[in-house]
Structure 1
Amino acid sequence: MALYNQTVDFLSESFSKHESQLSLLAVAGASFTLGLLSRSLLARNETLQTVLASPRSTVLPGISESENRQLPLPTDVLPGARDVASPYGSIRVYEWGPEDGPKVLLVHGITTPCIALGGLAHALVDRGCRVMLFDLYVSQYLVVLELYLTLKNNRFGRGYSDCPADLPQDSRLFSTQILLTLASSPISWTGVESGKFSLVGYSLGGGIAAAFASYFPQLLSSLVLLAPAGLIRDSQISFQSRLLYSKGLMPENVLGYLVGRRLRAGPLTTPKPKNHKLNAADALTEELSSQNAGQTQILSREYPHINVPSAVAWQVNAHAGFVHAFMSSMRYGPILQERQWSTWTRLGEYLTAQNSVSSSTDKRPSDHKVHILCGNNDAIIIKSELVPDATAALGGNAVFKFYEAGHEFPSTKYEEVASYIFELL
């Protein structure tokens, strides 16, 4: 135990101070020592669960209604809550608004539960839309349990959705979750008379939405991507994140400890250098970095005090499976251009074909462009890279709009974003 603690402390200090110069020799030495510990732990955990329960079933039964209302993420934080049973675990879904209004499905990002899009959802309902949000699954395909996590009994995921523990968190899993969520609605979202629906994805959710649209474009009336992942250039990824993506180079328990320690530290306040390369923690910090910029945010009208930083902090600290889920999303999710280019080009080819067909007989033609909204000050989705890359991948079938904001703009400028989306509907 002493050797484990000393080694982890050494690596953590080195990782935080000199992440771009981390010694491979130190990693190899730690791999040998901690690999033995990992195998020892796994020997006691040979039968891994296929579904890791969310706080809905592990925490909520033991608290009162008044205690629930004090949580950073109460169960009724948004209207129309329901839990949908599926082969991959339970999905928490929120759906409300006029049943005959234009339909909008919102998909959130890598670190935030769907409450981050709560303000946008309320603003769309105010305009007469029917909205649906859900908490993404959390996969723990990477589970080689770090010592810290083995001391805890509860292993949770994002928000109140369960975790399919034996699957990678990739486009296939998320596309399936979208279809399961749509099928759970009391009204039709995909039928002939449904009028189709608009799909809106934020950050990782943007990559998920683009992947879904590339396979099921006929279901959509429009596609709106908010600071979308999926086309991030490989050259933008830091050495730290390359370790994260490179399974087997570093023991999962050590890597999980280091990533978890960084995520729990919260947003960085020092400005990033001009040549800053993206690391794993940027996905968290950039969603929070402008929360002190003075904007009034009401993400939940039932609980006006709810905010993204407190909800994320609760998730990182209370969901013991979140760190591994975060790592799984970073490894397998629709984030990097080198893995998603064919997905985006497939979508572009479909749009080009649709735009070549005369729509003169259509009473209400479908929108055959991808609408991409971003912040001018986004440190993750770089304007000068996104515009040429998305234009090329989508065959010119893209429309861009930029706001004076950072990566977090959907939770701070939701009225403006809602007006843009509603015009498409």
Structure 2
Amino acid sequence: MAWFTENTSSFLSDTLANQQTRLPFFAVTGASFALGVYLHSLLSRKDDTPRILASPLSTVVPSLADADKAKLPIPLDVLPGARDVLTPYGSIRVYEWGPEDGEKVVFIHGITTPCLAVGGIAHELADKGCRVMLFDLFGRGYSDSPGDIPQDARLFSTQIMLALSSSPISWTGNGSKFHLLGYSLGGGIAAAFASYFPQLLSSVILLAPAGLIRDNHISFQSRVLYESSVIPENVLAYLVGRRLKAGPLIKPKPKSQRKPSEGPEAKDSKLSAEDALTEELQLDAPQRLSRAYPNITIPAAVNWQVHTHQGFVQSFMSSMRHGPILKTRELKTWERLGKVLADHSELKILVLCGEHDSIIIKDELVEDATAVLGTESIQFGFFDAGHEFPSTKPEEVAEKILTFWGKQ
């Protein structure tokens, strides 16, 4: 019995000592296992992403009273001629108005805003007899977003065709052509579309166009974030969405906090996703967007999108990763457009930008666009403004466009 008691006591002591030694190991193993399960759940979200991410049109608007609908940051009738077009990629919100026999103009807006951002220019051209068409890019405004497809120039070119096909009048039949206007990201989309379908176009107007932004302006952090091989897109959208929705209202930066747009500092400035998100939101001058609702603003509309549109964050992230933004990604597209211009001498391009734009650097844009497109088919115009000039100077922009067409 003494032998049994002694050996049992020794066994229990050894066992307890071993357990105490192993406790840190088990703790680390458990934490690692929990972290692995959490990361796996994030990484597997891609398989769970809905094919269609719904806009507020179907998730928010139906529960509102008529009086509340009129108070929305993006009222349903914010622009004339609204219609919703059902497509395999989700519903698309399209606006179309103006004389049916007028010059036809299709507008493509930027990465952050709904098409409302170019509404002021559309009103001005419609006043001059143009037939205008605007639509919300996937994941913005009242357009749904396909959650399982990269938002690149291929998808956006398809969306242009879908919007055109929904019109009650023909935009491309019997030799008809239209003018294509793209702002910011929309400028990169317009350049890509024109490089494939020049026979459909009368002219191309690019307002502070993306597509030729030099890589040296992108911060290291943004390079890591937007390399899809480093952080999966669904994980990035999840993290960015949490940050945006938990933060304060999206507000424009004061001038003192903006990136330099001129001088040696501009060439060395570093841009982040936040810069891309807020640059279109500046309010140095009153915005002129909607005739029906003159007091609405882009910052309020974007903030509402962040909180209510199921596909906005995912669409923004996907466009940053796959959209026609950076020069290294899009140089072949612009070179192809240059060859198209050489073969279609009647197709002309007007490029407009702000003198103080900290995203699209004026001198670099002129140098790079001229290098790939040549000097015969391209004209430039400049404004004493930043990246936001289409929403604050619509009359001046429309005047330059009409002069470019020889209508002024």
- Compared with structure 1, are the counterparts of its residues 268 and 256 closer, same or farther at alpha carbon in structure 2 (3 Å cutoff)? farther
Residue 228 (1) aligns with residue 209 (2): yes
Offset of residue 125 of structure 1: 0.8
Q: Distance in 1 between matches of 2:296 and 2:392?
A: 13
Match of 2:299 in 1: 309
8 Å Cα contact 1:97/1:125 also seen in 2: yes
8 Å Cα contact 2:357/2:385 also seen in 1: yes
Scaled by the length of structure 2, the TM-score of the pair is 0.83
RMSD: 2.2
8 Å Cα contact 1:38/1:253 also seen in 2: no
Q: 1:53-83, CA deviations, whole angstroms, 9 ceiling, x for partnerless residues?
A: 2111121111111111010001111000001
Residue 175 (1) aligns with residue 133 (2): no
- Compared with structure 1, are the counterparts of its residues 248 and 376 closer, same or farther at alpha carbon in structure 2 (3 Å cutoff)? same
Q: Distance in 2 between matches of 1:403 and 1:247?
A: 36
Q: Distance in 2 between matches of 1:343 and 1:252?
A: 24
8 Å Cα contact 1:231/1:341 also seen in 2: yes
Q: 1:105-149, CA deviations, whole angstroms, 9 ceiling, x for partnerless residues?
A: 000000000001111111111111110000001xxxxxxxxxxxx
Residue 160 (1) aligns with residue 142 (2): yes
Offset of residue 302 of structure 1: 1.2
8 Å Cα contact 2:212/2:330 also seen in 1: yes
Q: Distance in 1 between matches of 2:278 and 2:225?
A: 17
Q: Distance in 2 between matches of 1:41 and 1:339?
A: 28
Residue 272 (1) aligns with residue 259 (2): yes
1:281 maps to which of 257, 274, 287 = 274
Match of 1:53 in 2: 54
Residue 387 (1) aligns with residue 366 (2): yes
Q: Distance in 2 between matches of 1:216 and 1:34?
A: 49
Residue 188 (1) aligns with residue 170 (2): yes
Structure with bigger gyration radius: 2
- Compared with structure 1, are the counterparts of its residues 159 and 32 closer, same or farther at alpha carbon in structure 2 (3 Å cutoff)? farther
- Compared with structure 1, are the counterparts of its residues 35 and 254 closer, same or farther at alpha carbon in structure 2 (3 Å cutoff)? farther
Residue 423 (1) aligns with residue 408 (2): no
SS at match of 1:95: strand
- Compared with structure 1, are the counterparts of its residues 32 and 385 closer, same or farther at alpha carbon in structure 2 (3 Å cutoff)? farther
SS at match of 2:396: helix
8 Å Cα contact 2:287/2:392 also seen in 1: yes
8 Å Cα contact 1:113/1:158 also seen in 2: yes
SS at match of 2:273: coil
Residue 372 (1) aligns with residue 351 (2): yes
8 Å Cα contact 2:53/2:310 also seen in 1: no
8 Å Cα contact 1:31/1:250 also seen in 2: no
Letter of the 1:315 partner, please give it.
Answer: Q
Larger mean CA deviation between 52-61 and 62-71 belongs to 52-61
Offset of residue 325 of structure 1: 1.5
SS at match of 2:123: helix
- Residue identity over aligned pairs, in percent, reads 64
Offset of residue 374 of structure 1: 0.1
Offset of residue 240 of structure 1: 2.0
Alignment of 1:302-381 (within 5 A): 302-355=292-345, 366=346, 368-381=347-360
8 Å Cα contact 1:106/1:133 also seen in 2: yes
Offset of residue 41 of structure 1: 5.2
Offset of residue 286 of structure 1: 1.2
Match of 1:358 in 2: none
Larger mean CA deviation between 391-400 and 302-311 belongs to 391-400
- Compared with structure 1, are the counterparts of its residues 186 and 238 closer, same or farther at alpha carbon in structure 2 (3 Å cutoff)? same
Larger mean CA deviation between 173-182 and 393-402 belongs to 393-402
Q: Distance in 2 between matches of 1:178 and 1:311?
A: 23
Letter of the 2:253 partner, please give it.
Answer: L
Match of 2:13 in 1: none
Letter of the 1:415 partner, please give it.
Answer: E
Q: 1:78-114, CA deviations, whole angstroms, 9 ceiling, x for partnerless residues?
A: 0000011111111100000111110110000000000
Residue 208 (1) aligns with residue 189 (2): yes
Match of 1:117 in 2: 118
Count the aligned residue pairs.
362
Q: Distance in 1 between matches of 2:42 and 2:339?
A: 48
Offset of residue 318 of structure 1: 2.0
Q: Distance in 2 between matches of 1:135 and 1:282?
A: 21
- Compared with structure 1, are the counterparts of its residues 45 and 406 closer, same or farther at alpha carbon in structure 2 (3 Å cutoff)? closer
Scaled by the length of structure 1, the TM-score of the pair is 0.80
Uncovered stretches (5+) of structure 1, i.e. residues with no partner: 1-29, 138-156, 356-365
SS at match of 1:101: coil
Q: Distance in 2 between matches of 1:423 and 1:380?
A: 26
8 Å Cα contact 1:259/1:280 also seen in 2: no
Letter of the 1:245 partner, please give it.
Answer: Y
Q: Distance in 2 between matches of 1:250 and 1:136?
A: 25
Q: Distance in 2 between matches of 1:410 and 1:31?
A: 51
